[in-house]
Structure formats: structure tokens, C-alpha cells
Amino acid sequence: MIPLEHWLYLSGMLFTLGLCGVMMRRNVILVLMSVEIMLNAANVALVAFNKHLVATSPDGVSPDGQVFVFFTIAVAAAEAAVALVIAMALFRRLDTVNVDDVCNLRW
Amino acid sequence: MEAVLFYAFALLAVLCTLLTISAKNPVYSALWMIGSFAATAALFVLLDAFLIATVEVLVYAGAIMVLFLFVIMMINLRSEEQQGLRLSPLAILAAGTFLVLFGRAVSDLGPAVRARPNDLVGTAGALADVMFTRYVVPFEAVSMLLLAAILGTVVLSRRNAQA
Amino acid sequence: MSTLGAWLILFLPLLSAVTIAFGLHRSKTLSVGLSIAVVWAGFAIAAFHYLPALVQAGAAAHGAAGEHGAAGGHEGSGSGWVVADSIRWLSAGTTTFHYGILLDGLSTIMLLVVLGVGGLIHIYAVGYMHGDPGTARFFACLSLFMFSMLGIVLADNFFQIFIHWELVGVSSYLLIGYYYKKPSASAASNKAFLTNRVGDFGFMLGILFLYFATGTANFREMAEVVARPGFLEQAAFQVGGAGGWTFTHEHFLWVAGALVLMGIMGKSAQFPLHVWLPDAMEGPTPVSALIHAATMVAAGVFLLARVFFIYLPSETAMSIVAHLGMFTAFFAATIATTQFDIKRILAFSTLSQLGYMVMAIGLGSSDVAMYHLTTHAFFKALLFLGAGSVIHAVHTNDIREMGGLFGKLKITSTLFLIGTLALCGVPPLSGFWSKDGILHLTQDPPPWADNVFIHWLPTITAVLTSYYMFRLFFLTFVGKPRYHGHPHESPPVMWAPMAVLCTAAIVAGPMLFTQEVIEGFRTVTRPAGAPAFHHIHADPHTVVHALLIVGLGAGSALLAFGLGWVNPEVVKKLLGPVYRLFDNRWYVDDLYAWIVEHIQQNFARLCDGFDRIVIIGGLVNGSAWLTRASGAVLSRYQSGSVRTYALLFVAGVAALLALNL
């Protein structure tokens, strides 16, 4: 039996690694990948909660958490596609994928 | 037995993620990320979430990461432009603080964390039972969302000359 | 008896002033006519409508009292006759301000003086201001003044009287500064207003004290509260707990009385707030006659008589009043002996006589004070109008440039002489009865004023009065002519009012102003226990005493200025520093100038510096600077860098988590 805590620690670690990736990488594609990592970590937490905390009802255990994860994955996919196409348009315009070079909205 | 599997795949996932964010070559990052997703899928199987595990591999690793790889290839960075993880102390501090606080939050959860897992089996049938009855509206909404994403992608990827 | 007449008396002059100001001034004749008509209409109402009622009530009460064998010394107004009306004007929480009429004996006599003498001066002014382009403005200001003064006379509560007190100050300012293009005139009007303001500050505090102590501002109600048994010993508040010092109502009253006295010092020009009156002579002579001789300056004395009930219970307060008056009288008389401006001499004379009136109240007799106020109004107005006549003739105020005018200005000279004799107290003119009535009081003073000064100083002052008045007379009308040009007598419109005033000055003795009459003119708020009034008897002893005083003064003047046997220059050298002291007005004006220049101006500069540096520089400009500076600093964080934003994002989330865990 793996206690819920351990699952959550795992999720937290993955999330933090994703955060580090967002904050510390300069390639915009890598940043987007780190965002996907964060989403994935959240999915792990959701499924773990579903398994451990949802009570058994006469109809069985409701897999709401997993349905939520399903939708999350779908949304992540859509979001990744659009974000990538924006990154490509950016590359075409500025000829760089360095996040630091995109700073027109400054004081 | 289960515990060994859990710790093994957990370690694998964390390692792969770490390598993802620290690899110099973006292609390597993408590949490590696929490994990370694979490990996560295994962890989902440990939680009896079979459909999710399958979807994880099919969609995340299979579609999204392929898409990422396509884009990386298209952008075609030369080696000199590849830079690795830029260690920023502030960022590490922020992330570390976040992790510590998260840990505290988790440990504050109380007796709930010691609950026994229930006997949920996340098969396609079980999920479908719920998804097409209670959550049919979100389901349809997500399909709309995917349509919008497709359209957006098509529009945004047009060359400027035509726009 | 309806108060409609009183309301008309009060508001018709205001109507006249407003009408002239808002258009009627284009016609000089109509403005003048309206102004004069309004005053005489008021006099008619007072004299033929209210006075007979007062006399009747007085006679009835006297008849009734006579049956009880009372030998005099009635309390309150002889008859208690009063016509009163009050309008609720402004309510603020539990406080209500009223505006009303209190027409009793005291008000009536004051009305008759103000309206009568005022009316005569209005007529005189027609002749005096002839040819002056701003005549309509002059008469509008005169009407405004009449309204303000009548408001003081008819007021039934302290707040109303304060409003009119200030209004009178405004009118005085406008009239003193009538020749506004002359710098000395506008400076004088400022001085008058500011000095009055200082007095009014004390006055307001005193009113508030009284309101706090008695719970009302209405004169009659206040008199009743003060007269309640046990009120004076009642504690107002404790200082220092049960064993500490109790502040009773009696203490309250004398403090409040002293504060109100400040207002009276300002208005009636008692020392030390007298400095404005001599300078006020910059105004036209009718103004000097009306405001600064007969009426406005008498307002202080009137107020003292009205609220006598505040002072009588406290010996300290009475003593202050008496000694203040005594000193002012002496002080002013000494200065008058050295002046060469005919109007200034008369101004100091007014100061001196006002001192007599205030002293009389301080010695306990408001009756004698009001009597002297009345007779003084007659002959002082006469003297001022005469001076105006002389100035009109020789076009100068300086008596050194006059002399031997008796032949040329026969009417003016004769009338002036009679006025002088009345002022000096020569029997049987009215001045003898009123002024020697006061001197009589000083020989038998009440215990709080029983000292050598009260015994001798007023008498010495009377000698000085005769001296400077006859000095004035001799230098102006007698002797070798020193004037330029061809002086001629004034037109009838000018000497006729003077003649009427002269007649009044002659006959206003005990024949007309009998004891009953004077008692009838008492105020209805007069406290019980106030001393009775008795006319002095014209026995040989008193007459000789009076004539001796006059003779001493007049004789010295005659020797020095009339016959030239004593050289005044020699006397001046002999008296040296004393003469300089008097000539420089005891250096009081210089002291005030020094205080203003060194203390007040420096304080003002300090405040200005504080204002400019701390408030405007610091708070206003500083907050603007702070906003701009912080904006400049903070805007540097708007870097546009996504990574920085992400970092801040995470930091924010971490902070939130930290706060909530």
C-alpha cells in the first residue's frame, strides 16, 4: 500500500521540476514542454486522489477524477498545438526562439 | 511488490523530467520527456487507471511529443544556439520554497492521507459510464475546443504574405 | 404694545442704505432725502409712539410706589415697561439663535439720542458735504451705520448685539476711510477696525462664557438666572477633584465680565484699546460728530448699563471697571492739553468723558452714566459740528493757524462757547448736573473703589478738561488772527442743527430730566441692589466747587493763550519730559507699533515659512514628488521579460502559500 502522501510528494516534485524548467530555460519550445510537465504532474495528483479519497457508493466508485484527467489531457493537447504554432510564427518573425529576445512590451 | 514498482517508476519519472529540463539539445529534451510520460503511464497503471494510462501514452507521448519534435526540427537550431539550463539562484529559491511549502501543505492534510485506497478500476467502460451520462456536456465542449484549436492552428500558421 | 414700530425703526435705515447702494445713488438729492427721512421717521416713532407709553407707565408705577412710601431706589426700571419680540432665527441642535427687540426705558432714551442727534447731524452733513461727488455713498454709509447702531440699542440677546457690534465697526471703517484716496485715512480706518477686532475677540469669549454659565444669551433671561438665589455660589466646575478648587458662577461672572469689558474697551475706546479714536478723525466731521462722539463710542457704555447685572455681584469686576474708566479719563485729558488739531483735541476729550461714564458705572450708578451719556451727546456733537464749521471756513484743522475768528463766525463761536461751558460743567448747563453728578460719586465711593486716586484724579481731570477746552477756544476764536483767506459763516443748514443741540445742552438739566425721568430710563434687566439715583443739589457749596474747577482750568488757559501773560513755550521747557510724554500720547501707539513690528511680524514670518516649507513644500509638492519618484522606480520592473514575470509569478504563489499555511 502506497500512502497518498507519497503520491502527492511525487506530484509536487514533478510540478516543481516543471516550474524550474519554465523559469530557467531560454528556448521557448522548452518552456512549453515544461508547462506540459506541470500539467502531467497535476494529472498524477488527480488520479491519486480519485483512488484514495473517493468513497465507495452502492454503484461502485465514481471515476470522476479520471474523467477530469481525460479532459485535462485533451485540453493540454489543444493548448500545446496552438502554443507551438504561435512559437513558430514568432520564429518566422524574429528569427529567434530565445525568450529573452521577446521583450517589446517593456517600459 | 507494488511498493518496489512504485518507487522504481517514480524515480524514473523524476529522473527523466530532470533530464528533460536540463538537456542542451531540445531533441534530447523531447525524448527524455517521452520517457517521463512512459513512466507516468506506468504509475497510472499502478493506480488502476487503465484508460488514463493508455491515453497518456497515445496522446501525450504519441501525439503531443511528436508535434513538439516536428516543431523543434522545423526551427532547426544550430548547435551554437543551443543553450542549457541557466541556473538562476532566485528561481531555485522560489521553486525550492514552493516545494517546501507544498510539502507542508501535504503533511497538514490530516488523517485523510492515511486512507486505504478504494477498489476503483478505471477501465474504459467505467469511465464511459460516467462520461457520456453525467459529463456529456463537458465532453462535447472539449470537442468544440479541439475544433477551435485546429482552426487556430491553421489560421496562425499561414504565411504573412497572404494575411 | 406692538413692536412693529421698533422693527420699522430698525430696518428702515437698512432699506435706505440698500436702496442707495443699488441704484438710487445716481440721484444725489433722492439719496440724501431718503437717508434723512428714514432717520426722522424713526425719531418720530420713538418720540411720539413709544415715549408717551413709557412716560405713562412710569407715572403710574411711581404713583403706586408713592403710596407705599418708597423713598426712591426702585429696583428695575421704574415701571418695568418693556416691549419685546423675538424671532427664532437659527437652530443648531439644542442651541437656538434669536433675533429680537428689547425696548425698555434704556433702549428708549438711547433711541432718542441716536435718532435725534443723528438726524440733526444728517441735516448738517448736507451742508458740510456740499459739492463732494461721493455724497450719495456717504449717506448710504450713514444709513448703514444707523441700522447697525439701532440694532445694538434694540438687541435682545448677546449674539444679536455682537452681530451689530461688528456691523457698527464695519460702518465706522467705511466712514473713517471715506476719503479713501488719502493714505492716512485708509490707514486710520484699518487701525480702527483691527483694534476693534482685538476687543471683539474678548467680547466673543465673554459671550460664550456667559452662555455656558447661564444657558441663555437673552438679556432678560440671563438677568433672571443670575438673580436666582444660590446661583452665584453654585459650582460651575471643579478643578482637582473633591479637595480641589471650585470654580463658582461668581468667578465665572467676573471673568466673563472682564472679557466683555474687552469688547467695551474696543468700542468705547478705553485704555489700552483707545488708539484708534484720535486717528479716526480722518473721516469727515459729521462722521466724527455722530459716530465718534455721540453714538458708537457710547455703545460700550450702553452695553455696560444693559448687562450691569453681570458686574454688580462681583466687587472685583466693579473695581476693574471703575479704575479703568478713571485712568482713561485722566490719561486722555493729559494728552489733549498738547494737541494742535482741533478735532484731535475734541477726540481726546470724548475719550476722557467716556472714561467718566465707565467709571460711573464702576462706582455703581448706571443712571448717572446714562445721563452723562445723553448730555455729552448733545454738547460733544455740538462742539464737533462747530469744529466742522470752523474747518469749513478756514480750510485747516490746525488751531495754530486760527485765531480771532469770533468776529467772523459769530454764530459758530457763540454756540461753541456754550458747548465748551457745558462740557466743563458750568451751572446751570446740563453738563454741570451730569458731570458733577459723577464727581459727587467719587467723593463717597463704594468700598471697592475707596482710594486716594478715585478721590482726586477725576477732579484733577476736570481741571485739565477746562484747561484744554479753553485753550482750544482761545487759540481758535480769540486773539490775533493767524488764518489765511476769508472765512465766512456757515449756511443755515449747518448752524441750525447746532443751535438745536445747543438748546438741548442748555435745558437737559433736572428741570427736564427729573429723578423720575432718569429712573424711567432704566433698563428692565437692572439688578436688585443697584444704588439709587439722586440729582446733586445746586447748593452754594457744590456750585462754588464746580466753578472753582472750571476757573482753575480756564484761568490758566486764559493766562497762557488768551492774554499771553504766560509764555507757553517757557512752560513747555519747564515741564520737558512730562510734556513729551503727553505729546506722544504716553508712547502707547509706539509700543503697539513695536509689538506689531517685532513680535507679530516675526511670528507671521515664522508661520509663513512653516507654511511654505512644510505644508506646501513638504506635503503638497512632496507627495507629488513621492508619487513620481516611486513610479519611476517601480516602472523599471516592467521589463517585458517573460522569465522575470514567471519568476515573480512563482514567488507570489509561494508567498500566498506561506501566508495561508
Neighboring chain C residues of A105 at a CB cutoff of 8 Å: 638, 640
Lowest mean pLDDT among A32-41, B72-81, C249-258, C302-311: B72-81
From chain B residues 25-44, the ones with a CB under 8 A of any chain A CB are: 26, 29-30, 33, 36-37, 40, 43-44
pLDDT the model gives residue C206: 92
Q: Do B91 and C647 touch (CB under 8 A)?
A: yes
Spatial contact of C457 and C380, defined as CB atoms under 8 Å apart: no
CA distance C197 to C130: 33
Cell 448699563 found at: C305
Interface test with A, best of C642, C645, C650, C653 (most A CBs within 10 A): C642
Spatial contact of C341 and C81, defined as CB atoms under 8 Å apart: no
pLDDT the model gives residue C71: 35
Reported for C654-659, long-range contacts at CB under 8 A and 24+ positions apart, including other chains, are C654/B94, C654/B97, C654/B98, C654/B101, C657/B98, C657/B101, C657/B102, C657/B105, C658/B97, C658/B101
Percent of chain C with pLDDT over 90: 27
Query: How many of the other CB atoms lie within 10 Å of CB of C132?
Result: 15
> Residue C659's closest chain B neighbor by CA?
B101
Nearest Cα residue to C149 out of C307, C359, C293: C293
From chain A residues 33-52, the ones with a CB under 8 A of any chain B CB are: 33-34, 36-37, 40, 43-44, 47-48, 50-52
> Residue C654's closest chain B neighbor by CA?
B98
CA distance C622 to C311: 54
Highest mean pLDDT among A43-47, C335-339, C441-445, C656-660: A43-47
Q: For B97-114, how does the pLDDT look when each residue is reduced to its tens digit (9 = 90+)?
A: 888 888 888 888 777 766
**C396 against C149, higher pLDDT:** C149
For residue B5, what are the β-bridge partners? none
Neighboring chain C residues of A22 at a CB cutoff of 8 Å: 646
pLDDT the model gives residue B81: 56
End-to-end CA separation in angstroms for chain B: 59
- Chain C: touching chains (3 or more CB pairs < 8 Å): A, B
- Cell output for B72: 523543434
Percent of chain C with pLDDT over 70: 94
> Residue A42's closest chain B neighbor by CA?
B40
Helices (H), B62-135: 65-75, 89-107, 124-131
A94 in contact with chain B, both atoms CB, cutoff 8 A: no
CA distance C629 to chain B (A): 27
CA distance C300 to C266: 8
Nearest Cα residue to A99 out of B90, B74, B30, B83: B83
From chain B residues 119-148, the ones with a CB under 8 A of any chain A CB are: 119-120, 122, 126-127, 130-131, 135, 138-139, 142, 145-146, 148
DSSP-derived secondary structure for C162-211: HHHHHHHHHHHHHHHTTSTTSHHHHHHHHHHHHHHHHHHHHHHHHHHHHH
CA distance A56 to A50: 11
CA distance A106 to chain B (A): 21
Spatial contact of C373 and C106, defined as CB atoms under 8 Å apart: no
Nearest Cα residue to B25 out of C98, C484, A25: A25
pLDDT the model gives residue C121: 93
* CA quadruple C388, C474, C336, C415: dihedral sign: negative
Q: Above 50 in pLDDT, residue C73?
A: no
Alpha-carbon torsion, ordered C276, C282, C286, C290, to 10 deg? 0
C660 in contact with chain A, both atoms CB, cutoff 8 A: no
Percent of chain B with pLDDT over 70: 90
Q: Do B102 and A12 touch (CB under 8 A)?
A: yes
Q: For C358-416, how does the pLDDT look when each residue is reduced to its tens digit (9 = 90+)?
A: 999 998 888 888 899 999 999 999 999 999 999 888 888 888 888 888 888 888 899 99
Query: pLDDT band at C245, cuts 50/70/90?
Result: low
Interface test with C, best of A15, A94, A106 (most C CBs within 10 A): A106
- Cell output for C283: 473721516
Q: For C609-623, how does the pLDDT look when each residue is reduced to its tens digit (9 = 90+)?
A: 988 888 888 888 889
CA distance C659 to chain B (A): 10
Query: pLDDT band at C143, cuts 50/70/90?
Result: very high
- The answer to whether the predicted template modeling score (pTM) of the entire model surpasses 0.80 is no
Q: For C300-356, how does the pLDDT look when each residue is reduced to its tens digit (9 = 90+)?
A: 899 998 888 888 888 888 898 999 999 999 999 999 988 889 999 999 999 999 999
Nearest Cα residue to C112 out of C174, C204, C43, C9: C43
Side-chain half-sphere exposure of C89, counting CA atoms within 13 A: 11
Lowest mean pLDDT among C92-106, C175-189, C555-569: C555-569
From chain C residues 632-661, the ones with a CB under 8 A of any chain B CB are: 647, 650-651, 653-654, 657-658, 661
The 8-class DSSP code of residue C157 comes to: B
Radius of gyration for chain C, computed over Cα atoms and rounded to the nearest angstrom: 30
Query: How many of the other CB atoms lie within 10 Å of CB of B128?
Result: 13
Q: Above 50 in pLDDT, residue C68?
A: no
CA distance C331 to C352: 7
Cell 518573425 found at: A93
Query: pLDDT band at C638, cuts 50/70/90?
Result: confident
Q: Among B67, B126, B139, whose Cβ lies nearest the Cβ of A81?
A: B67
CA distance B125 to chain C (A): 39
CA distance B98 to C35: 92
Query: pLDDT band at C76, cuts 50/70/90?
Result: very low
| ipTM of the complex in this document | 0.89
Query: pLDDT band at B144, cuts 50/70/90?
Result: very high
Lowest mean pLDDT among C4-18, C32-46, C528-542, C543-557: C528-542
Query: pLDDT band at C427, cuts 50/70/90?
Result: confident
Query: pLDDT band at C296, cuts 50/70/90?
Result: confident
Query: How many of the other CB atoms lie within 10 Å of CB of C428?
Result: 13
DSSP-derived secondary structure for C287-311: HHHIIIIISTTHHHHHHHHHTHHHH
Residue C14: its H or E element: helix C4-21
**B54 against C557, higher pLDDT:** B54
Nearest Cα residue to C15 out of C32, C40, C38: C38
Residue C95: its H or E element: strand C95-104
Give mean pLDDT, residues B65-86.
76
Neighboring chain A residues of B153 at a CB cutoff of 8 Å: 81-82, 85
**B12 against C600, higher pLDDT:** B12
B85 in contact with chain C, both atoms CB, cutoff 8 A: no
Backbone angles phi, psi at C132, to 5 degrees: -80, 130
Q: Which residues lie closer than 8 Å to B107 by C-beta, 6 or more apart? A: A5
Spatial contact of C410 and C403, defined as CB atoms under 8 Å apart: no
Residue A94: its H or E element: helix A64-94
B91 in contact with chain C, both atoms CB, cutoff 8 A: yes
Give mean pLDDT, residues C179-199.
90
Pairing of strands C95-104, C235-239: unpaired
Lowest mean pLDDT among B57-66, C163-172, C290-299: C290-299
- In whole numbers, what is the pLDDT of chain C averaged over residues? 85
CA distance C655 to C661: 10
Q: Above 90 in pLDDT, residue C528?
A: no
At position C350, the amino acid (one-letter code) is T
The 3-state DSSP class for residue C624 equals helix
Q: Above 80 in pLDDT, residue B31?
A: yes
CA distance C397 to C412: 16
CA distance C592 to C652: 68
At position C70, the amino acid (one-letter code) is A
Query: How many of the other CB atoms lie within 10 Å of CB of B158?
Result: 10
Nearest Cα residue to B67 out of C371, C509, A83: A83
Alpha-carbon distances of C433 from B73, C375, C507, C534, C636, rounded to whole Å: 128, 9, 11, 11, 93
The 8-class DSSP code of residue B117 comes to: P
C643 in contact with chain A, both atoms CB, cutoff 8 A: yes
Q: Do A103 and C636 touch (CB under 8 A)?
A: no
B88 in contact with chain C, both atoms CB, cutoff 8 A: yes
CA distance B101 to chain C (A): 7
SS3 per-residue string spanning C330-365: HHHHHHHCCCCEHHHHHHHHHHHHHHHHHHHHHCCC
A14 in contact with chain B, both atoms CB, cutoff 8 A: yes
For residue C151, what are the β-bridge partners? none
